[in-house]
Amino acid sequence: MNQKEFWLFDDCLRIDGRDGSFLETVSAPEKQRHFDGISLCAARNAHACFQLAVVPASGALSELELLWSPLTGAAGEIPGENVRFYTQWFHRLHEKLVPDMLLPFGGPLVFAVPLDRERLADQRAGAVWAELWIPPEQPAGEYAGSLTVRSGGREQVFSISCRVSACSVPVRSKITADFNNYADSLSDSFDSLRENPERYRDGSYLAVEREFYRMSREHRGVYHNLPYRHSGAMPKSFAPELEGEGKALRVKSWEAFDAHFGPYFDGSAFRGCRGGEYPVEFAYLPFSLAWPANYEKWGKKGYRTEYRRILMEFVRHFEEKGWDATVFEILLNNKKDYRFFPYTIDEIWYEHDQDVVDTYYDIIRRTFEDSRAKFVFRMDSSNHYGNHFDHRFSDYCGMWVAGDAMFSWFPESVEAMRRRGNILWIYVSVLQALDQPLLSLWVWPVRCMMTGTTGFTVWNTTGFGKDPLTCPAVEGGEALFYPGSPFGLEEPLPSIRLKSLRGAMELVELAMTQEAGPLQVELKRRINSALGMEGEGSWFRPKPEFVKTPPRYWDFDKAVPEAALPQVYLG
C-alpha cells in the first residue's frame, strides 16, 4: 500500500475533495499529515476526534475496510463500541469540494472515491470522520490501540493513543447552544413525510423530529422549534385543540399535544442519549398574537378573556404533569415586513410598536409568575436593545436574545440583566459559509464565556435548501443537520460543523467548571492571549454615536469598520 494514499489528520482541519489539500490555512501542511499514527487527548464525558484521508494514487477507490482495536492501558479499556466512523460527503462551493455532511460508515452509502460518479465526478480524495467517546466513569490515564485500514488486498495499521485526563465535562451545559428552527421545517425534505397528510397523527413526523432532538442533545445543543409560522398558522399537534369561545373557550384535548411534547418535557425522549436523559432545557410555546385568541378580537375584552383562560390552563396542566425542569418561552415572533400583522414585535424597530408589548404584557401578567413550572415572556431584541435592557421591558421579559452587533455595543447590559435574574443569549443569525475555517464556529461558545452571557442562538439550523447534497441554503449558513432521505434514512445526518461546535462546547464547558478565582482569571488571560484579544473588554465593540438616535436613522457605515476589529470576533 502506498503510504501517502492514507493518512490521519486533526479534527480542526478539512481536505478539498478535488486533490486532498487542506481547506484551512496551515503554515506547515506536511506536519499535519500523520502517516504512522495520531495522539489524542480528552476529558471524561467528552470526545476525542480525528480524520482519515484517502487519496488513491489512481484517483479512484471502490472499497475501504476499517478495523478498530480498542484502546487499553493500565487503568483498563475504552470500550470498542465507543468509537464511531462517518463517511464524509463533499459539497460544491466556490470551485471547491468541501466536506460537511456525515453518513454512518458502512451504512447505505459505500465508501468510494468518487462517492458519486455523476455528482462528484471530479472527486479524487475522500475522508472519514472518527470520534471516540470518553464516558464519565472512564479512569484517567494513557490508552493505546490501533486502526487498520484495508483496501484492495492492501493493509495499513495506524497507532492510536489517547490521554484521558481526570477532569470531566459536566453532563448539563452551562451554556445553551440554541439550534433554532420554525414550525415543521422537516417534512419537505423527508420522503416519508412530504406527501403524507397523516404524518402528524400516525407518528411518522414525531419519529423524525425526535431524532433531531436527540442528535442535538448528543452534540450539547437544544433543538428549538417555534410552533407557528409568521402568519400564526400551526401544524396539527403543535398546540392543543380548543373548543368554545369567550368565557367558554377551553382545551378540548391535550392528547395529541402531550404525545408530541411530553417526552421532551419529561426527558423520556432522550433515553439512551450520550448527552444524558433529562428534560429539554428550553421550549417555545404556541402562544402568539393569533393564538389562542383570534387576532380579530385584538384590543377587545374578549381577546384578553380567551388568552388568559388558555394560558392559565397551560399552567395548570404543566404543573399536574410535573413539567417543571424546562423553561417554557412565550415569544411574539411577528413582523410587519411579513404582512400578516401591522406590528413588528420580534426585534422591535418602530417606537410605536412598544405600545403593543405593554398591552400584551398586561394581558398575560399574573398568570404564571408563581407557578413551579418555568414560564417566561421572551424578547428578541436588536435595534432597540440599548434602549430596553434597563427598561420596564426587562422587568416584563425574563429572557432576552440580543442581536450580536447591538449587544456588543452595550457591555453594561450583562450586569443589568443579571441583576434582574434574566436569561441573556447572543443572536448569531446565520453561521459562516461551509468553506470558512472550522474554528470560526468556536467563537460563539467562547464569547459566551468571555462576556458572561449564557447562550447563543443560531437563527436556522434546518435550512437545507433545494439541493443540500450540492450545497445547503446560504452556502451552508442555515444548516447544521442534513436530511437522510436521499440515502434511504428517515433521520437526520450530522455535519462536520456540528461536531466541531460540540468540540468547542466541551472545551468551554470544561473551562467553566472552574469557579471564579485565580484559576479562571488565568484561563481567560490565556484565551485572550491565544486569540489576540487585549482583555475581556475587547470582546465588545466601541459604541457608535448613532445609538443615541432612533434606529430608523442609523447609518451602519458610521460604525467601527470590521477591519479594525479583532479577527476572532468576526470568526
Q: Which residues pair with 78 in a beta bridge?
A: 71
Residue of 385, 494, 398 lying closest to 454 (CA atoms): 398
Please say whether the beta carbons of 466 and 486 come within 8 A: no
Task: State pLDDT tens for residues 287-325.
Answer: 999 999 999 999 999 999 999 999 999 999 999 999 999
CA 364, 365, 367, 373: dihedral to nearest 10 degrees? 100
Distance CA 514, CA 168 (A): 11
- For the cut 90, the answer to whether the pLDDT of residue 7 exceeds it is yes
Whether omega before 114 lies within 30 degrees of 0, making that bond cis, reads yes
Residue of 308, 354, 282 lying closest to 550 (CA atoms): 354
Task: State pLDDT tens for residues 29-45.
Answer: 889 999 999 999 999 99
C-alpha cell at 105: 460508515
Greater model confidence, 553 or 155: 155
Task: State pLDDT tens for residues 52-101.
Answer: 999 999 999 999 999 999 999 999 999 999 999 999 999 999 999 999 99
Average pLDDT rounded to a whole number, residues 243-258: 97
CA atoms within 13 A on the CB side of 217: 25
Identify the band that residue 133 occupies on the pLDDT scale cut at 50, 70 and 90: very high
Q: b or e along 496-507 (b: 16 or more beta carbons within 10 Å of the residue's beta carbon)?
A: bbbbbbbbbbbb
> Which residues lie closer than 8 Å to 55 by C-beta, 6 or more apart?
4, 5, 6, 7, 19, 20, 124, 125, 126
Average pLDDT rounded to a whole number, residues 194-199: 96
Identify the band that residue 334 occupies on the pLDDT scale cut at 50, 70 and 90: confident
Please say whether the beta carbons of 193 and 211 come within 8 A: no
Q: Where are the alpha helices (DSSP H) in 219-350?
A: 255-266, 301-321
How many Cβ atoms from other residues are within 10 Å of residue 108's Cβ?
A: 12
- For the cut 70, the answer to whether the pLDDT of residue 1 exceeds it is no
Residue of 318, 230, 334, 239 lying closest to 286 (CA atoms): 239
Please say whether the beta carbons of 438 and 500 come within 8 A: yes
Cell 480525528, located at residue: 50
Whether omega before 292 lies within 30 degrees of 0, making that bond cis, reads yes
> Containing H/E element for 511?
helix 496-511
Please say whether the beta carbons of 565 and 541 come within 8 A: yes
DSSP state of 479: B
pTM of the model: 0.96
Distance CA 213, CA 266 (A): 13
Distance CA 383, CA 346 (A): 10
- For residue 435, the SS3 value is coil
Question: Of the segments 281-285, 434-438, 448-452, which one has the largest average pLDDT value?
Answer: 281-285
Q: Which amino acid is at 271?
A: R
Q: Which amino acid is at 192?
A: S
DSSP result, 274-296: TT-SS--SEEE-S-BTTBSS-GG
C-alpha cell at 17: 475533495
